[in-house]
């Protein structure tokens, strides 16, 4: 029988090792599924969301409390977005810890990393779209950080939020960034990333000549596993969204004085930027808010280029000796980010 559209998106057969849960952690596939959920729920939210400062938070309240199953859809969008960050991070860790970034996958590693950064920005802009009292301080801090960049800071600030006062006029830019400016690149880069996975020989496993396990599974079996995985994730998301509502806070006030008061009351970054907020307490915002985070990003991006090339037989195996430096680097980065997040949370 000729393959259906969905089957046709997959290679006819793949090595069994590439489809093992303990090898992939299902992170990449889960990320794609979460993105699909985010797309669908996001479009549904757009039917009610009103991107102007006076009505935005009220429209979020309308979605949450008044639209039939609106609260559920919003929770689904929220939890999918949070899980996407976690799953993306796991995906990145898996790729480094199994030396999967190595040639010929170096370019796709950069594509993936870019996707991760955009997903973080999507989470941040989505958080800002709540436009309630809790978002003002993080928006102000985040966008003021851009201004600290020499020469191009002001221009970047204008590109990000239009250059005005963040908490009174930044909403429309944040909305357009969220819906188009970041989502379109995610779609394009995401498709490219998936295409490159296949073009680069599928999920990284040792090359055929050094492979011990030469078993293969068919695309039918692969799709079955994907369907089952989607069911499991779907059920988990439904339950999570039923019991754990997405955060919401009182609407942003409209007078500057009241906005200022609201901003000072909620001086807490969203959880994925708590590590940066913690560093900002230490001094120069440009150093701690821009240079160090970007430095860390550049360091992670350079992993395939600056460290010794892992042995071919090590590619696709967990924690091989030949890429110890890369493992230590990503391990240290993860440890520091988690530690800073916990420190910020503790106070």
Write out the residues near other proteins by the rule CB under 8 A.
1, 58, 61-62, 64-66, 68-69, 72, 224, 227-228, 231-232, 234-235, 238-239, 241-242, 245, 248-251
What is 190-237 written as a DSSP string? Answer: HHHHHHHHHHTTSS----GGG-S---EEEHHHHHHHHHHHHHHHHHHH
Q: Which is nearer to other proteins, 64 or 278 (CB)?
A: 64
Minimum Å gap between C-beta 61 and other proteins is: 4
Q: Which is nearer to other proteins, 8 or 224 (CB)?
A: 224
Tell me how far CA of residue 137 lies from CA of 60, 74, 153, in angstroms: 19, 23, 19
- Total residue count of the chain as it appears in this document: 347
Alpha carbons within 13 angstroms on the beta-carbon side of residue 263 total 19
Residue 2 backbone dihedrals phi, psi, to 5 degrees: -75, 145
Minimum Å gap between C-beta 13 and other proteins is: 17
Minimum Å gap between C-beta 214 and other proteins is: 23
Q: Which is nearer to other proteins, 94 or 130 (CB)?
A: 130
What is 123-175 written as a DSSP string? Answer: HHHHHHTT-BTTTHHHHHHHHHHHHTSTTTHHHHHHHHHTTS-HHHH-HHHHH
Q: Which is nearer to other proteins, 205 or 233 (CB)?
A: 233
Q: Which is nearer to other proteins, 224 or 281 (CB)?
A: 224
Minimum Å gap between C-beta 77 and other proteins is: 15
Minimum Å gap between C-beta 257 and other proteins is: 12
Q: Is the dihedral of CA 87, 92, 98, 103 positive or negative?
A: positive
Question: Where is 116: in which H helix or E strand?
Answer: helix 106-128
Minimum Å gap between C-beta 294 and other proteins is: 37
Q: Which is nearer to other proteins, 246 or 290 (CB)?
A: 246
């Amino acid at each position: 029988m000729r393959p259906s559209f969905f089957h046709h998106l997959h290679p006819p057969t793949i090595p069994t090792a590439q489809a093992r849960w303990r090898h992939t952690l299902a992170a990449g596939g889960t990320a794609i599924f979460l993105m699909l959920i985010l797309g669908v729920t996001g479009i549904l939210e757009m039917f009610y969301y009103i991107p102007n400062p006076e009505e935005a938070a009220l429209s979020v309240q309308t979605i949450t409390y008044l639209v039939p199953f609106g609260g559920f859809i919003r929770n689904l969008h929220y939890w999918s977005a949070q899980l996407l960050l976690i799953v993306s991070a796991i995906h990145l860790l898996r790729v480094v810890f199994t030396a999967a970034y190595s040639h010929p996958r170096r370019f796709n590693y950069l594509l993936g990393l870019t996707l991760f950064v955009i997903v973080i920005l999507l989470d941040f802009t989505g958080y800002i779209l709540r436009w309630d009292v809790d978002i003002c301080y993080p928006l102000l801090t985040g966008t003021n950080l851009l201004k600290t960049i020499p020469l191009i800071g002001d221009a970047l600030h204008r590109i990000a939020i239009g250059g005005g006062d963040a908490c009174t006029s930044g909403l429309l830019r944040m909305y357009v960034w969220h819906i188009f400016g970041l989502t379109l690149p995610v779609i394009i880069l995401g498709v490219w990333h998936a295409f490159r996975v296949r073009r680069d020989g599928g999920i990284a496993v040792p090359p055929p000549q050094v492979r011990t396990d030469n078993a293969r599974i068919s695309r039918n079996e692969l799709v079955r596993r994907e369907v089952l995985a989607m069911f499991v994730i779907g059920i988990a998301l439904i339950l999570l969204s039923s019991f754990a509502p997405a955060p919401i806070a009182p609407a942003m006030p409209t007078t500057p004085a009241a906005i200022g008061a609201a901003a000072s009351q909620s001086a807490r970054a969203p959880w994925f930027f708590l590590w940066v907020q913690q560093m900002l307490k230490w001094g120069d915002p440009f150093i701690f808010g821009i240079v160090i985070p970007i430095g860390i990003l550049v360091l992670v991006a350079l992993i395939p280029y600056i460290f010794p090339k892992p042995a071919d037989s090590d590619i696709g195996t967990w924690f091989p000796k030949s890429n110890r430096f890369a493992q230590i680097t990503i391990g240290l980065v993860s440890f520091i980010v988690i530690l800073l997040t916990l420190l910020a949370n503790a106070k």
